[in-house]
Chains A and B, each alone.
Chain A
Amino acid sequence: MATRQVARSGLPLMNIVRMKGVPILKQLEIEECLLRTSSDNWCIINDGTDKPNIVMGISGKPAELVEIRPVLEDKIPVIRRFTGGGTVIVDHGTVFVSFICNKNDVADVQPYPRPIMSWSSLLYSQVFQGIADFRLRENDYVFGLRKFGGNAQSITKNRWIHHTSFLWDYEARNMSYLKHPQRAPEYRLARDHLDFICPMKDYISRSDFIRKTIDAAGNHFSVESTEFEAVKSPANMKFTPTSRLLTNHELEAAGKTSIL
C-alpha cells in the first residue's frame, strides 16, 4: 500500500506542474498515465496548447459533433480523450487545469461525478471571488449564463481526475468547426455557440488566474512545484494511453455517415 504523503501542515501533498504550449494530446497522455500509475496528487496547468485541436469525450461521434469537411480541408486534428463529456476546440488561448487526486486525500468528496464537480466549483469560486458572477451551471463553469470552462472527469477505484479547458480567449472562426451537439445543457437555450460562450480575458489576466488557482489549491493541499521534465515521459513503460488522434480515414467515414 502506498504511503500517504502528508506535509507538516497536515494537508496532503499535491505536485503542481506548470507547462506552456504543450500539445493537448501529450497533456492527455501525461494525465492518464499519472491517474493510472501514480499514487500522488497532481495539478497540471498547461498555459495554451500549440495549435487548434478538436477534443471529443470518450463516446464522442465525429459525425454528430464536428463539421467534417472543413476539418479535413483545414487539417484540424480531432482527438478522442479518455475522459467523458463533450467536445471542445482548443488552441493557444485555452488554459488547461487538471486535478488528479487520491480519493482518500479528498475524503469529504464521494468519488462520483457530481460531488467531484461540486468540490471543483467551490475551489474555483475562491479563484473568481469578487471578480465575476461565477457558478457551476449544469456541469459547466459560467459567468452569468455564458460558459467559459468545460469540464470532464475520469474516476478509477481509488483516484480521479477532474480537468477543465478554460476559454481565456478563442478565435470565433474556430468555433464553426463544431456542430450544435444533440445533448446540450438546458441553459444554452438553443443559442449559437458564440452567443453561449465568453472569453475569460474580459475578467482576469492569465497570470492572475493561474496564480489564484494555485493559491486555491493550497487551501486543500500542501502544494509543491514539480518540473515538467519529471512527468513528460511515462515512468511506467507498460502503460498505454487511450486518448488518440482520429485518422483521416475515420473522419472521412464519419463524413459519409453524416450525409446519409
Chain B
Amino acid sequence: MALRIWASSTANALRLSTATRPHFSPLSRCFSSVLDGLKYANSHEWVKHDGSVATIGITDHAQDHLGELVFVELPETGGLVAKATGFGAVESVKATSDVNSPISGEIVEVNKKLNDTPGLINTSPYEDGWMIKVKPSDPSELDSLMGAKEYIKFCEEEDAGH
C-alpha cells in the first residue's frame, strides 16, 4: 500500500501520513498529495513503473494549479513518446497545457474515459486520472526522475519563488 506524503504549497512543515485515503480538512486546499513509489518529472508528470509497463499522468500539484479540466487531448496507441517531449494536452481555464512524457517508449494503452470525463484527472490524478501506459524503451531513464521527497521539495521551492 503506498505511503502518502502530504506536501504543503504554502506551509513549511512536511507531514508524513500513512492514511489510506486522502483526508481533506478545510486547510487541505493548501496541500497537494505526492505518492511514494512513483517517479516525478520537473514538468509535473508522474510515472509508475510496474513490470514491463509504465503508467503516466499529471500530479495533484499540477491539476490543482491548472484548475478544472474540461478537455484532454491524448495520442493513439501504437505511437511513440520521447522523454521530456509532449504527448498530449489538457484544457482548463481557457488554456491548453502540454503534457510531457517522463520517459521514452511505445504507447500501449490510453485512458479513453478521459474523453468523456476529463475531471477524473482533478479528482483522482494518480488513479482513475491516469493518461497513458507506455512500454519503456530505456528503463534507465527512470533513474534521472525525482522521487517523492525530491518532488515535494521541488514543488515547495517553485511555489515559494512566486
CB atoms of A82 and B96 under 8 A apart: yes
Are B70 and A183 in touch, CB under 8 angstroms? yes
The chain B residue with its CB closest to the CB of A155 is: B97
Is B77 an interface residue, CB under 8 A from the partner? no
Query: Is residue A165 within 8 Å, beta carbon to beta carbon, of the partner chain?
Result: no
In the complex, what's the smallest C-beta–C-beta distance from A255 to chain B, in angstroms? 22
**Given A58-B91, A59-B70; A154-B96 close (CB under 8 Å):** yes
Nearest-neighbour CB distance to chain B for A158, whole angstroms, equals 9
Question: Does B162 contact A84, Cβ atoms closer than 8 Å?
Answer: no
**Interface flag for B92 (CB, 8 Å):** yes
Which residues of B lie under 8 Å from residue A84 when comparing CB positions? Answer: 71, 91-96
B67 within 8 A of A: yes
Interface size on B, residues (CB 8 A): 23
Within the assembled complex, what's the spacing in Å between the Cα atoms of A151 and B158?
Answer: 26
A205 contacts chain B at the CB level, 8 A cutoff: no
Q: How long is the Cα–Cα vector from A57 to B158 in the complex, in angstroms?
A: 29
Given contacts A58-B71, A59-B71, contact A112 B94 (CB under 8 A): no
Tell whether A58 pairs with B67 under 8 Å between CB atoms, given A113-B94, A153-B95, A154-B96.
no
Is B43 part of the contact surface with A, judged by Cβ < 8 Å?
Answer: yes
- CB-based contact A117/B93 at 8 Å: yes
Tell whether A156 pairs with B98 under 8 Å between CB atoms, given A59-B70, A109-B162.
yes
Find out whether the CB atom of A112 lies under 8 angstroms from the CB atom of B70. Answer: no
Q: Which residues of A contact B66 (CB under 8 A)?
A: 112-113
Chain B residues with CB under 8 A of A155: 95-98
**B86 interface residue (CB < 8 Å to A):** yes
**Would you call A234 an interface residue if the criterion is a C-beta within 8 Å of the partner chain's C-beta atoms?**
no
The residues in A between 127 and 144 inclusive whose CB is less than 8 angstroms from any CB of B are 139
- Interface bits A47-72 vs B (CB < 8 Å: 1, else 0): 00000000001110000000000000
A-B pairs with beta carbons under 8 A, tally: 72
A73 within 8 A of B: no
From B71, B86, B91, residue with most partner A Cβ within 10 Å:
B91
Contact B95 A154 (CB under 8 A): yes
In Å, the complex CA distance between A110 and B95 comes to: 14
Question: Does B122 sit at the interface, judged by CB under 8 A?
Answer: no
Selected from B71, B94, B100, B162, the residue in CB contact (under 8 A) with A153 is B94
A86 at the interface (CB under 8 A from B): yes
The B-contacting residues of A in range 166-201, CB under 8 angstroms, are 183
Pairwise interchain contact B95-A83, C-beta atoms closer than 8 A: yes
Contact A139 B91 (CB under 8 A): no
B80 contacts the other chain (Cβ, under 8 Å)?
no
Known: A58-B73, A58-B96, A153-B96. A110 touches B162 (CB 8 A): yes
A85 CA to B161 CA, complexed, in Å: 28
User: When the two chains form their complex, are residues B67 and A114 in contact, meaning their CB atoms are under 8 A apart?
Assistant: yes
Provide the residues of chain B in CB contact with A116, threshold 8 Å.
Answer: 95
Q: A85-B95, A155-B96, A155-B97 are in contact. List 5 more A-B contacts (CB 8 A).
A: A84-B93, A84-B96, A108-B162, A110-B158, A156-B98
Interface residues in chain B, defined as those with a beta carbon under 8 Å from any beta carbon in chain A: 43, 65-67, 70-71, 73, 84, 86, 89, 91-98, 100, 158-159, 161-162
* Interchain residue pairs with CB less than 8 A apart (14): A57-B91, A58-B71, A58-B89, A58-B96, A59-B71, A59-B91, A84-B92, A84-B95, A109-B162, A110-B158, A113-B66, A113-B93, A153-B95, A156-B98
